[in-house]
Structure 1
């Protein structure tokens, strides 16, 4: 799984901020009624923007991420927003050090960074074990249409005063997998720009695979939606949303 070492410093600048509003709105629509005040675990919380949104909405939030660099930014964000959020460095494949939660989320296709179906199934099992009875798990992933038709050949360039980046995406060998190649030019204190390169690999699966893995983990009530809306996926949906109940 990627740790976003360099990406942490420019991640917020290149993210579409409106997506956090959409993730928040989708969550609030699909959390149980009277869920506010409940314990919420956000997996792959990154720099904490979504965690802060959940805290501001009235939840007791814990954010977990592999990247300590991102968690440092997240903690500063929470302090600036005057919110008490527990940020934990850790791997979603092993949640053994955490308590149970009423709600678990994992957004921004973060599960697509897991290596294979085994890791996906293990993560679902970890989430199930750390959900309270009646708890809700919500996550999103790339659709197979997104990985197979949209991403291959994708290119994004960003230029700002203190950084520049080139983001190119290619199809990878495993089915429904892609490789993001990122090059950053970041302005240092002396005014010079330093180059950094990172490679991020993502993979998704057929809808049926997710259903089977969730069922094997113990989830029985699973609903699937698409593209932040309460509608069923179509052949050209870009992002799938799963709402699973324990």
Structure 2
């Protein structure tokens, strides 16, 4: 089962909608008000892409999951000339156009298996950006991976499904394993639920490691802030944001 295959069906319901507002606010603060051509990597079901298009930006949403992209496309109409969605891999952006802005939020980079893969993403993003373009992304901090995620437990239930999320330390430094279990109602007529299990593996690195890789990819102006603010990270910041200029 591919990652998110089941999760895509109930993704919107289990996600905190206020996070999308925070990502939208953060993005608009750092790209200005004039219309931009934006590529949103790991766009999921397209909520942020839609909001960016609604305020006048030309947006392409890209996601590895066909299921996510199908849900995202349901948000569009024939009148949405500023918005499109595609299935694609952030590890290979050769076929994409050039953009003013590339974003990659929701700690999606933490799903890369190793530093080499992260470096490849940075290289591909740099190539996809116009000169002077901006790359915005976020990742989990080491503090969150080491102190907040271990033994994390979350349960969510409706009449249609139940969702269980348990997290445990991974096998490599600064990594975490999320065990997701879904019980999804099969039919409306009968209370029969089918169980699905997924393993999501994430890892992060030090800020210095990210900065070194970004510089190697050709980014010359790199700023790091934390937790949706424009403040520098501290020892207990949970999410690091990078603002990078080509």
SS in 2 for 1:186: strand
Structure 2 CA distance, aligned partners of 1:125 and 1:169?
31
Any idea what the Cα deviations from partners look like across 1:143-192, whole Å, max 9, x if unmatched?
00000000000000001110101100000011100000000001112532
Q: Which residue of 1 aligns with 2:51?
A: 53
Q: Which residue of 2 aligns with 1:5?
A: 5
Q: Which residue of 1 aligns with 2:131?
A: 133
Q: Would you identify which runs of 4 or more consecutive aligned residues in structure 1 move more than 2 Å?
A: 78-84
Correspondence list, 1:1-246, <5 A: 3-31=3-31, 33-34=32-33, 36-79=34-77, 82=80, 84-189=82-187, 190-191=189-190, 192-246=192-246
The total of aligned residue pairs comes to: 243
SS in 2 for 1:45: coil
Structure 2 unaligned blocks of 5 or more:
none
How far apart are 1:86 and its partner, in Å?
1.6
Instruction: Report the TM-score, using the length of structure 2 for normalisation.
Output: 0.96
Instruction: Report the TM-score, using the length of structure 1 for normalisation.
Output: 0.96
Structure 2 CA distance, aligned partners of 1:196 and 1:202?
20
Structure 2 CA distance, aligned partners of 1:24 and 1:215?
26
Structure 1 CA distance, aligned partners of 2:233 and 2:178?
25
Structure 2 CA distance, aligned partners of 1:67 and 1:25?
26
Q: CA RMSD in A?
A: 1.4
Q: 1:225 to 1:196 in 2, by over 3 A?
A: same
Structure 2 CA distance, aligned partners of 1:179 and 1:233?
24
How far apart are 1:82 and its partner, in Å?
4.8
